[in-house]
Structure 1
Amino acid sequence: MSKSNMIYLEGDFIEDYNGIIYDVKGFEHPPNKVVAYPRYIPDPKGDRRRGNIRYRKIYDLNERYEFLRKRLKKYIVYDPIFDTNIPEIPVEDLLRHYNPRETLLKLLSESRSLNRVLSDIISLVNYIIEYSGISYDNIGLSGSYMVDLYRPDSDIDLIIYGDETSKAVIKGLYEMYEDSVIRRYSLDELHSLYRFRKAYKISFEEFKYIESRKPFQGIFHNKEFYIRFLRSLEKYHKYGYLKYHNLGRLHITAYVTDDSESIYTPCKYRVEVLSSNPSYEIDLKKPFYVVSFRGRYTYSAFKGECIEAEGKLEEVYRDDEVIQYRLLLGESYSDYLRIVRYNEYQSHNI
């Protein structure tokens, strides 16, 4: 398959001819381009090595943009569909496309000769298969392991593909916690996560409450793991099907009316807006969603809870008509989501 005809998904990585490795964001990619952010960059002082080349990981979004502005400014373009400046990598500049499912299948085929670090990944995957009943075809391995830049302490980043598959895995994870196959973060580990994410717009107690409810992150064999869930491919729109218009910053208080898409990437909460600041002339009869492509906002609020959130307000168009609004979280450290009234009838049902 030619590079221009490949399907690039959230969780995939791409590598350009400069040796820079990017993580693919989202599912809406312009023709012959991929929306992606630099993740591993060649650096003589880097703490990771692949072959004879040292690499450094960059995670902070501001640092990623700064790197592109200095090294590859041409990749940052204004995209009229998203109404923002965004990194778009031309497929003609790509050396390689990394696929999480292919990575895991390759690892499984070599399972008898793996080191302890990689064997732990296979062990976790096998437990997930056992407890959820899904097949190996519906799970992938992303992150540093996919590009052979892992360290002994690297997190295990897994991806689950498909709606029903995702629900089965969530259910299985709760049972894995009950059977002590995996464990939740300790208080010290949550403090570390709070600092790493720079989640200072909410208190640590609020952060702890939200993160402690999430079943898809924790510790397995003294190693952190994180699992992302992607919907079936047909549920995602292609580039240009929808168009987004930036209206500016917005703070809202809202009631969560639907959390059925909160486990996926992007996570999505339908809400009823109770108050907002500043006030925009918008039609509140149209659907309003809180949306994020950042994992930190996944499964953060449940139906029946009242939230405060701040982010970028966008009109969402289809055929020149506004069909909904969304508050997009995750592009700024000023963005946040906090719960101001809890749902006392929480359950594990998805």
Structure 2
Amino acid sequence: MSAPQQSTPPASLPSMTSPLGTALPAIRDRDYLLDRSGVIFKVIGDVHPGSHWLGYVKYYPDERGDRELFGRTYRQNTVVSKAFGILADRPECYVYSPAIGCVITGVPREDVVTHYSCRRALAALHHSPELLDGSPVSKDLAAIITWVVDAGATDVIGVTGSFLVGVCNARSDIDLVCYGSRGYETAQALFAERSLIQPYEGDTLTRLYIRRAKYMAGSSFDALLQQESRKLQGLTTGAGAHINCEPLRADGDRTLAAVAAQEVGAISVLARVTDHTEGLATPAVYGISVDTVIGSTIDEPTTFARRITQMRSYLGAYTGAFREGDVVYLSGRLVHLHGPGEHSTFGIELTPWSAAESFLANLSR
């Protein structure tokens, strides 16, 4: 069998300049990257191999889409594992990550043409509000950005999602990120500002449940809403649009930099959260102790039960969702984790990089 060939970008590309894009080298988790083929990747994590920036396809040229960018029709992707199919003719975008312990997708570094920084986007939208389309949700975002600027927090709050790359529309959510402990505290203050953001309560709780239950199957109404109430999310006061803020690790945080993972199999358990300190920011790492093994693809799963001490998630769904003492149903990949020196342990990885099924972490009691 011949080796797969590298895909070749078109010889003539439409203009890909954007007032929201930069050529800054400091690429952070949740920033976006545009490659030479016109595909936009969402960066995942802050630990990357030398050849690629890890991430998944967020927007890509497709006539079936409903977004416009660079004079082309774009389609949005919201499922991490679907990036493998979207990139089926670009095998150079499949890369093994020792930090994650499996093959995931990423953009080759030499293919990147534009870097969209979440923090730079917030600053650009503040200085050039005409970049927003004037819709009610855009006006809400403008007011929120003004609050962030007045709070002196532009270095710890950023804008991600559709507003980051200018493919927003009247139905868009507002997606924010915050960095480190100061960013988290600032975001808490922002979400407590009732002139800008209303909490999910009353009838809107059903709306939140429906929104989340799509990928948290099996969770009861009350348990899911208790889990979700711990996150930074709500509804904008003007348009009633969903808004959330994902806490990310501070610049220079090296907690996961020297940790490597090896996939062992799949496992589902009931576990008790023993430490949520590192679970308040993405990638989230919770200390756990396993109470009961429910199912597994490996032989003698109870042998591993007492050795499992962590659950991890690179996606924001479970960041900040659990607290010490919670009992949680977990279903994910069993991974062996080893860090500096001889330290090693086992953990449950909740990120479905290439799996058709959804991995879960549901509050039990």
Contact 2:148 2:154 survives alignment (8 Å)? no
Q: Which residue of 1 aligns with 2:140?
A: 120
Contact 1:218 1:225 survives alignment (8 Å)? yes
Secondary structure, aligned partner of 1:10: coil
Q: Which residue of 2 aligns with 1:308?
A: 329
Q: Which residue of 2 aligns with 1:147?
A: 165
Q: How does 1:176-325 map to 2 (within 5 A)?
A: 176=193, 181-184=197-200, 186-194=204-212, 197-211=214-228, 213-220=229-236, 221=238, 222-237=240-255, 241-277=258-294, 278=296, 279=301, 281-282=303-304, 284=306, 288-319=309-340, 321-325=342-346
Secondary structure, aligned partner of 2:267: strand
Contact 1:134 1:168 survives alignment (8 Å)? no
Going from structure 1 to structure 2, the CA distance change for 1:149 and 1:29 (only over 3 Å counts) comes to: same
Contact 1:256 1:306 survives alignment (8 Å)? yes
Q: What is the CA-CA distance between 1:38 and the residue it aligns to?
A: 0.6
Letter in 2 for 1:246: E
Secondary structure, aligned partner of 1:236: coil
Q: Which residue of 1 aligns with 2:15?
A: none
Q: What is the CA-CA distance between 1:199 and the residue it aligns to?
A: 2.2
Going from structure 1 to structure 2, the CA distance change for 1:192 and 1:114 (only over 3 Å counts) comes to: same
Residues in 2 aligned to 1:314 and 1:22: alpha-carbon distance in whole angstroms: 26
Secondary structure, aligned partner of 1:125: helix
Contact 2:332 2:351 survives alignment (8 Å)? yes
Flag structure 2 segments of 5+ consecutive residues without an equivalent. 1-21
Residues in 2 aligned to 1:61 and 1:114: alpha-carbon distance in whole angstroms: 27
Q: What is the CA-CA distance between 1:275 and the residue it aligns to?
A: 2.4
Q: Which residue of 2 aligns with 1:73?
A: 91
RMSD of aligned C-alpha atoms?
2.7
- TM-score, reference length from structure 1: 0.85
Letter in 2 for 1:42: P
Secondary structure, aligned partner of 1:227: strand
Contact 2:67 2:74 survives alignment (8 Å)? yes
Q: Which residue of 1 aligns with 2:125?
A: 107
> Greater helix share, 1 or 2?
1
Secondary structure, aligned partner of 1:137: coil
Going from structure 1 to structure 2, the CA distance change for 1:22 and 1:337 (only over 3 Å counts) comes to: same
Q: How does 1:62-101 map to 2 (within 5 A)?
A: 62-69=81-88, 71-101=89-119
Instruction: Report the number of matched residues.
Output: 330
Secondary structure, aligned partner of 1:152: coil
Residues in 2 aligned to 1:329 and 1:50: alpha-carbon distance in whole angstroms: 33
Going from structure 1 to structure 2, the CA distance change for 1:245 and 1:267 (only over 3 Å counts) comes to: same
Taking every aligned residue pair, what percent have the same amino acid on both sides?
23
- TM-score, reference length from structure 2: 0.81
Letter in 2 for 1:36: G
Deviations 1:151-175 (A, max 9, x none): 11111111111223313422x1563
Q: Which residue of 2 aligns with 1:54?
A: 73
Going from structure 1 to structure 2, the CA distance change for 1:326 and 1:164 (only over 3 Å counts) comes to: farther
Residues in 1 aligned to 2:233 and 2:244: alpha-carbon distance in whole angstroms: 5
1:38 is the counterpart of 2:57: yes
Residues in 2 aligned to 1:233 and 1:267: alpha-carbon distance in whole angstroms: 16
